[in-house]
Every structure is written in C-alpha cells, then in structure tokens.
Structure 1
C-alpha cells in the first residue's frame, strides 16, 4: 500500500464520513435494530408504550430530552423500562461528546441486564441517537469510526450532523492513541 493511500485511510475527514453516509440506500423508518438488542428510533415510537412492550424494550435512552425536544421521564415508562434522558441539541455547536461515555455506559449496562433491549432515540432517529450508538460501538466494541458507521448504515438510514461527525473523529483519534499506548506498555 502506498504511503499516500495509508494516510488517507488513517486520517478520515468529515467529508469522507458524509460520503460514506450518503452511500446508504435505506429509507428512514420509525425504528430499526442496528446491533443485537440495540434499536434506534424516532420520538413517535419512543412514546408508543405498546410498541415498545411488543419489542421487549427494557431501557430507553432519549438523546433529545428537553422542553423543546422530546419530553420523557421515568414516570412515563414506569416499571416497563429504565429511562435516561440526555438534553442534546442537534446543532453545530452542541458538545455531545461529554455524553459519549455516560450514554455508552447506559447502553452497556442495559444490554448486560436480563433480556436487556435498549431504544436510543431523538426526534427523527438520525443524528443525536445514531451518534451515541456509534460512540458506544467504538468505546465498548473497539470498532474504528468508519467500521461502526458502516455497520449502522447497513441497518438504518442515519445522518449525524457535521459537528457530531467531527466529535466522533476526535473520539476515534483518542481511542486509537489509547490503544497504541496500551500496546507499547
């Protein structure tokens, strides 16, 4: 492999990631299982308790928890599901990365629970929720960013905004550095 080609795969750009996302031929649906027992969905399905019960959802991670976004709380789900709300804006300046680890931990804990199935949602199930699931796959399954995105677009039409893609690129770099440091030690 030429050094130029190697550099290209090592240093992805937001534009590269957008091209990858553009290659997805799926149509957006209300809910999709994107990884075993991990579902990404929209706010309508998140507020349909009958549908969630039918799917066996035990945990709900709302990536749009706010008065303007999607209002949800533990009392709405009662004993049917464990709720976690993240007050994220789908904007070019929101620092979603501060929630990468807590969201990944919530998803991981959900999947470790008996018959655990988690719904990660925002308003449309395209940007905030998919970003958090990608971060989970990177943190807990050690997938490189590009591979995590490829896995998801095989199951759901997703499109994290440019800011979130840049934050995921930073996470990818941090995790790669951490892995290299561990290998040296």
Structure 2
C-alpha cells in the first residue's frame, strides 16, 4: 500500500533518485528510519520512497582528500557531495532547527498553524509555491511574513536564481529577531538547497561546511542538479573571498 498521494507525486516525480528507487526496499529502510527518529506522527506513504535515497551508497562513503589550496577546505565533486550527504544524520522531523531560529521543514508543518505558533515562526519561505497549495492568505492573522517560490525538484530546474533573494529574505528575518521556516513538500531538497545557499552567502561557509552544519540537525539530500548549482556558487564565493 505504498502509494503516493497526487500532490506528493507531483513534488517527487522529478527526483532522479525517486524515479529509480525500489519500492520494496523503501518500506524496509524507512520503517527502521522512522521508528528510530523523533517524528511525532507517522509519515505519509509517499515519504518512504523519497527518503530511501538516504539508504544508498552509505557503505561506500569516504572522506574526500582533495582540498582547495587557498582556503584549505574540501572541494568536492557532485558524487563526493552525495556521499557526504549519505553519511551522518539521516532522520528528520516535520521541522528541524538547523541554525539558530532557522528551521527546515515539510508541507505538513507549514500547514499546522498551532505548531507554527508553538515554534514562534515569524517568517515562512515556501520553496514549493503552487496555485493549489499554501499562500500568504493561509497565514492571515498570524503575523507571519510569507514569501513563495515556484520551484520544481528537478535536476534541470534553475534554482540558482533564487539563491540570493532567499538568502536576503532569511538574513533580514533573522536580523530582526525573527524565526524562519524554510519548507518544500518533504523538506530535504528544495528547502535544504536554499538554506545551504544562505549559510554560504551570509555565514561565509563553504558548501562542505554548510552541508555538515545542516546535517548535524537534519537529513537532507538536494537533487544532483541543485548540488551542481551549489557547487558553482561555492566556486564563485571562494574566488571572491580569495580576491579580497
């Protein structure tokens, strides 16, 4: 009965890993994952196929040896970035605080007005904005500043155009003492990508440092196209800092 809901399918069908995932192993792996996690509610069936990407290549994980000669921190290929993402924390709640007052979450937490109030969320960045889901009007009367981005979880989607606007939205909110939720459908690819970009742009982290920072608190796995774009941002920021 591991059947995706229509809205979950639309969000997940573009994922390269999801398209090639094996459904039997998905249920086995994710059953163990969520039994050992801190989820307050059982995940919907659609999450199982998506989260199965965490189970791959963990036995082949290794520490990269190549390093940037200027900064002395790792410079990884996309394949090496994926291996890094497969290690460490792989479980996640509906929302996890990955940086002070900055949460990555899923659509369920974004729809839970009571939980948003409990967490003190003042700003929401929706990375899966659509005509039929969410919107600023949903949060009327909650004193929440909302920003929506229509992004697709596809390796071919250009997420890089959102890097700086998203980073500025998050930075401004945190600078004002706000608490930010960045979410998409599942909270592991689109939202994670923009939080990583924020940490790189505004907190002067390398991509590897940003990934490790987030992974300490939440399992994430941006799709391969997003990783390439983050790697490109990493190169630009490194060059800028080295030239300064």
Task: State the TM-score, normalizing by the size of structure 1.
Answer: 0.90
Aligned to 1:48: 112
The alignment covers a number of residue pairs equal to 176
- 1:104 maps to which of 160, 163, 167: 167
Aligned to 1:168: 230
Question: Is the Cα–Cα contact under 8 Å of residues 193 and 230 in structure 2 kept in the other structure?
Answer: yes
SS at match of 2:160: helix
CA offsets 1:54-74 (integer angstroms, 9 cap, x no match): 110000000010136xx2222
Aligned to 1:66: 130
For residue 10 of structure 1, report the CA deviation from its aligned partner: 5.0
SS at match of 1:88: coil
The CA RMSD over aligned residues, in Å, is 1.6
- Residue 121 (1) aligns with residue 183 (2): yes
Aligned to 1:132: 194
SS at match of 2:124: strand
For residue 94 of structure 1, report the CA deviation from its aligned partner: 0.3
- Residue 19 (1) aligns with residue 79 (2): no
Distance in 2 (CA, whole Å) between partners of 1:141 and 1:107 is 11
- Structure 1 regions of 5+ residues with no counterpart? none
Aligned to 1:57: 121
Larger RCO (CA under 8 A, 6+ residues apart)? 1
- 1:156 maps to which of 195, 218, 228: 218
- Structure 2 regions of 5+ residues with no counterpart? 1-64
Question: Is the Cα–Cα contact under 8 Å of residues 89 and 217 in structure 2 kept in the other structure?
Answer: no
Distance in 2 (CA, whole Å) between partners of 1:136 and 1:57 is 18
Aligned to 2:43: none
Structure 1 segments, 4+ long, off by >2 Å, are 4-11
Distance in 2 (CA, whole Å) between partners of 1:97 and 1:40 is 18
For residue 79 of structure 1, report the CA deviation from its aligned partner: 4.0
- 2:102 maps to which of 38, 44, 48: 38
